[in-house]
């Protein structure tokens, strides 16, 4: 492919791409994101290809592997174009039926259609599935349509139009910054700093060269939205970065991505190579005299490297430890030069804003939080997956409509939002609108968008302990309050979980949390106490039950619970004996069993298999 020398070249090439492919030609797009790959998407793809070849239809029907569609719970998922028929829980055995239906009158395969759990009705199109219906997929919308390895696919859905717009009109940098400011876009990495303001501060700094960085160091447990965007639509991020570089006068950009995301790195590298070949990156882009290159830096997976000064240190080859701000990176960043660091989703939002206008973007969301936010909905929820919703949606809508409620009819207890250093929002705040301000008011934070749903079987003290353990491990250890505070908090929480806590401990927890919040060097330490503070605020009774009554209300903390078998209920089926790993259950078949508490490790395996519900936890 020859280099695109001008915007005219780009548009002509886009036309070629569009004409190249008949819009009515059937295409089977299978999600090959990380979730669906794990549930066997590649077998499905291979099965489809095999069946098509067998029927000699390989050139009549396309098979495409795309990035994440979001509905990981029902994976592998796929869409049959041009009708847009949505199939879920596809296996390679279904391949023949899918191919047959795509060729013969396009009658959908009934059993693969999504079934509404309430009504039992089958749903034909993706957008009619409740999980998708309430979403507004600005960033992820194209994931289901394009093959991330094909720049042509991105061009077909209107890719690089925003870049052509700003370069073609020779839009001055300050106008682009002004547009971003007007859109109300706020940093999607978690802190929610207004992107336009940050950009304006960089422009105001006369020092050169300037650098821009895409922060793809997504380290929260259970979060995979940056990963999915990099895997599914890397060109949207590259386009955003090129526009950003043009507006800010940067010539080199970096993508800092974790090495644990091999597929994301691979897709990004492929996309960068294509963009360079096409002349979208490099010297004299589209003959405008604007030069820009993007380098990929792989991080070694330290959570703290998502903090911008630590990230800069890591790119420079130093240990990933934060340095105090000010000076901020826009003043003195990478190699001591002015630097902008934005999250993956922030960069990907830029082309959308340029294309559709700041007014359109600002019309989505709430008064102070604009646009859409991507959440990874995980935990005790029926529909796990990636969800992109307008800001301001309530937790209730998120959990009961999009998420489909809590499995096994259990009660919702809390939602942990914002990653490990976010906070736990109790079920009583279910009508809380999700935006930056409301979450902060409730003691949590937006973070990068992790959303862990917890039901009644979760012990909140244990949750706080778990997150402190994670943060203790991930604290870089440079500043004293964070290094020492996380250790001390974890020790105290462990003590409480073991029933050895004292009431004074609660005061110590509060004091330590306060001092960490106020004096820690970076965002990690300043927010590390949030899980403790929010659980103390909303679930103090659970702490007190552990301390005063030596009782774990959720029956989770192992030192405070005892397993036993109710002899009148036990039918002696022996199922529990079979699963017990420590041979702690005694008793003959058809006679009631007993648990040897000396051997019992309280794993709960017997509880799960017991049909007559004879296993008791007290």
Partner 1 sequence: MAKLKINGIDLEVERGTSVLEAARFLGIPIPTLCHDDGLTPYGACRLCVVEVGSANGNGRTKMLSACTLPAEDGLIVQTHSAKVEKARRLLLEMYVATCPQSKTIQDLASKYGMRQERLAPKHDNCIQCGLCVRMCEEQMMAGAIGFAGRGAKRRVSRPFDMTSSLCRQCGACMYICPVCELRCHGASAESTLCNGCLNFATVCMQSYDDAMCFLDPCHACEIGGPLRSDVPVKLSAVKSAAQEK
Binding site for partner 1 (CB under 8 A): 302, 319, 323-324, 326-327, 472-481, 483-488, 491, 504, 508, 511-512, 514-515, 518-521
Burial 337-376 (b: 16+ CB within 10 A, else e): bbbbbbbbbbbbbbbbbbeeebeebbebbbeebbbbbbbb
What's the closest the beta carbon of residue 547 comes to partner 1, in angstroms?
15
Q: Which of 219, 306, 307 is nearest to 522 (CA)?
A: 307
Nearer to partner 1, 171 or 323 (CB): 323
Nearer to partner 1, 56 or 326 (CB): 326
DSSP string for 510-542: HHHHHHHHHH-SSHHHHHHTHHHHHHHHH-HHH
> Could you tell me which residues come within 8 angstroms of residue 451 by beta carbon, excluding any fewer than 6 positions away?
375, 376, 377, 378, 379, 398, 415, 416, 417
What's the closest the beta carbon of residue 491 comes to partner 1, in angstroms?
8
Q: Is there a contact between 261 and 269 (Cβ–Cβ < 8 Å)?
A: no
Q: Which of 397, 378, 449, 424 is nearest to 186 (CA)?
A: 449
Cα separation, 225 vs 419, whole angstroms: 12
What's the closest the beta carbon of residue 416 comes to partner 1, in angstroms?
21
Which tokens hold the place of 66? 């795309």
What's the closest the beta carbon of residue 315 comes to partner 1, in angstroms?
18
Cα separation, 396 vs 62, whole angstroms: 40
What's the closest the beta carbon of residue 320 comes to partner 1, in angstroms?
9
Nearer to partner 1, 506 or 616 (CB): 506
Helix/strand/coil (H/E/C) assignment for every residue in 134-191: CCCCCCCHHHHCCCCCCHHHHHHCCCCHHHHHHHHCCCCHHHHHHHHHHHCCECCCCC
Nearer to partner 1, 509 or 585 (CB): 509
Nearer to partner 1, 366 or 487 (CB): 487
Nearer to partner 1, 133 or 300 (CB): 300
What's the closest the beta carbon of residue 325 comes to partner 1, in angstroms?
9
Sign of CA dihedral 264, 265, 269, 272: positive
Cα separation, 56 vs 550, whole angstroms: 70
Contacts of 463-468 spanning 24+ positions with Cβ under 8 A: 463/414, 463/416, 463/424, 463/531, 463/535, 464/493, 464/531, 464/532, 464/535, 465/490, 465/493, 465/494, 465/497, 467/416, 467/420, 467/421, 467/531, 468/493, 468/528, 468/531, 468/532
Nearer to partner 1, 134 or 488 (CB): 488
What's the closest the beta carbon of residue 83 comes to partner 1, in angstroms?
52
> Could you tell me which residues come within 8 angstroms of residue 477 by beta carbon, excluding any fewer than 6 positions away?
483
What's the closest the beta carbon of residue 459 comes to partner 1, in angstroms?
24
For residue 560, the 8-state DSSP code is G
Q: 257 pairs with which residues across the strands?
A: 216, 298
Nearer to partner 1, 42 or 488 (CB): 488
Burial of 178 (0-12, 13-18, 19+ CB in 10 A): middle
Cα separation, 152 vs 352, whole angstroms: 18
> Is the N-terminal amide bond of 208 cis, ω within 30° of 0?
no
Q: Which of 582, 79, 573, 139 is nearest to 348 (CA)?
A: 139
Nearer to partner 1, 281 or 479 (CB): 479
Nearer to partner 1, 333 or 403 (CB): 333
What's the closest the beta carbon of residue 510 comes to partner 1, in angstroms?
11
Nearer to partner 1, 110 or 473 (CB): 473
> Could you tell me which residues come within 8 angstroms of residue 93 by beta carbon, excluding any fewer than 6 positions away?
47
Q: Is there a contact between 451 and 377 (Cβ–Cβ < 8 Å)?
A: yes
What's the closest the beta carbon of residue 303 comes to partner 1, in angstroms?
10
Nearer to partner 1, 36 or 302 (CB): 302
Q: Which of 613, 102, 190 is nearest to 440 (CA)?
A: 190
What's the closest the beta carbon of residue 484 comes to partner 1, in angstroms?
5
Cα separation, 236 vs 238, whole angstroms: 6
Nearer to partner 1, 496 or 576 (CB): 496
Nearer to partner 1, 454 or 521 (CB): 521
Cα separation, 67 vs 257, whole angstroms: 17
What's the start-to-end Cα distance of the chain, in Å? 70
What's the closest the beta carbon of residue 508 comes to partner 1, in angstroms?
5
Cα separation, 255 vs 100, whole angstroms: 43
What's the closest the beta carbon of residue 324 comes to partner 1, in angstroms?
4
What's the closest the beta carbon of residue 439 comes to partner 1, in angstroms?
19
Nearer to partner 1, 59 or 504 (CB): 504
Nearer to partner 1, 76 or 420 (CB): 420
Q: How many residues does the chain have?
A: 618
What's the closest the beta carbon of residue 304 comes to partner 1, in angstroms?
8
What's the closest the beta carbon of residue 477 comes to partner 1, in angstroms?
3
Cα separation, 85 vs 124, whole angstroms: 6
């Amino acid at each position: 492919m020859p280099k695109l020398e001008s915007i005219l070249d780009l548009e002509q090439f886009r036309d070629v791409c569009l004409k190249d492919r008949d819009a009515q030609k059937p295409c089977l797009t299978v999600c090959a994101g990380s979730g669906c790959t794990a549930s066997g998407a590649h077998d499905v793809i291979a099965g489809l290809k095999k069946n098509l070849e067998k029927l000699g239809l390989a050139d009549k029907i396309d098979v495409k592997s795309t990035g994440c569609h979001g509905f990981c719970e029902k994976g592998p998922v796929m869409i049959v174009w041009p009708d847009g028929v949505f199939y879920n829980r596809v296996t390679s055995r279904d391949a023949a039926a899918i191919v047959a239906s795509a060729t013969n009158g396009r009658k959908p395969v009934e059993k693969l259609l999504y079934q509404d759990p309430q009504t039992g009705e089958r749903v034909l199109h993706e957008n009619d599935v409740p999980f998708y219906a309430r979403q507004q997929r600005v960033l992820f919308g194209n994931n289901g349509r394009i093959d991330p390895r094909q720049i042509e696919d991105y061009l077909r859905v209107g890719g690089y139009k925003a870049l052509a717009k700003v370069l073609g009109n020779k839009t001055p940098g300050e106008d682009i910054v002004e547009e971003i400011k007007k859109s109300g876009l706020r940093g999607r990495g978690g802190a929610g700093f207004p992107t336009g303001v940050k950009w304006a501060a960089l422009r105001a700094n006369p020092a050169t060269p300037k650098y821009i960085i895409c922060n793809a160091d997504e380290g929260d447990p259970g979060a995979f939205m940056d990963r999915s965007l990099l895997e599914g639509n890397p060109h949207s991020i590259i386009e955003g970065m090129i526009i950003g570089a043009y507006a800010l006068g940067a010539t080199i950009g970096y993508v800092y991505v974790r090495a644990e995301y091999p597929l994301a790195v691979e897709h990004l590298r492929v996309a960068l190579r294509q963009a360079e070949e096409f002349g979208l990156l490099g010297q004299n882009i589209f003959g405008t005299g604007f030069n820009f290159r993007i380098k990929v830096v792989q991080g070694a997976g330290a959570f703290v490297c998502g903090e911008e000064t630590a990230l800069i240190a890591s790119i420079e080859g130093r240990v990933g430890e934060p340095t105090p701000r000010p000076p901020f990176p826009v003043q003195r960043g990478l190699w001591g030069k002015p630097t902008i660091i934005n999250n993956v989703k922030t960069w990907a939002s830029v082309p959308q804003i340029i294309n559709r206008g700041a007014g359109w973007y600002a019309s989505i969301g709430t008064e102070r939080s604009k646009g859409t936010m991507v959440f990874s909905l995980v935990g005790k929820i029926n529909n796990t997956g990636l969800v992109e919703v307008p800001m301001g949606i309530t937790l209730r809508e998120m959990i009961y409509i999009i998420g489909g409620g809590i499995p096994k009819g259990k009660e919702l207890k809390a939602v942990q939002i914002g990653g490990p250093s976010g906070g736990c929002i109790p079920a009583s705040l279910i009508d809380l609108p999700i935006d930056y301000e409301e979450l902060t008011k409730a003691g949590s934070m937006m973070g990068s968008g992790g959303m862990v749903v917890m039901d009644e079987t979760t012990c909140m003290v244990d949750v706080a302990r778990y997150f402190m353990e994670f943060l203790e491990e991930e604290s870089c250890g440079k500043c004293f309050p964070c290094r020492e505070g996380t250790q001390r908090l974890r020790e105290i929480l462990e003590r409480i979980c073991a029933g050895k806590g004292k009431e004074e401990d609660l005061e110590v927890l509060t004091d330590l949390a306060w001092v960490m919040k106020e004096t820690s060097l970076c965002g990690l330490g300043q927010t590390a106490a949030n899980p403790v503070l929010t659980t103390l605020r909303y679930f103090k009774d659970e702490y007190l039950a552990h301390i005063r009554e030596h009782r774990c209300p959720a029956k989770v903390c192992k030192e405070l619970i005892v397993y036993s078998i109710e002899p009148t209920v036990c039918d002696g089926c022996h199922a529990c004996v079979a699963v017990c790993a420590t041979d702690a259950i005694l008793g003959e078949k058809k006679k009631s069993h007993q648990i040897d508490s000396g051997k019992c490790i309280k794993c709960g395996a017997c509880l799960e298999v017991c049909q007559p519900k004879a296993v008791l936890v007290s």
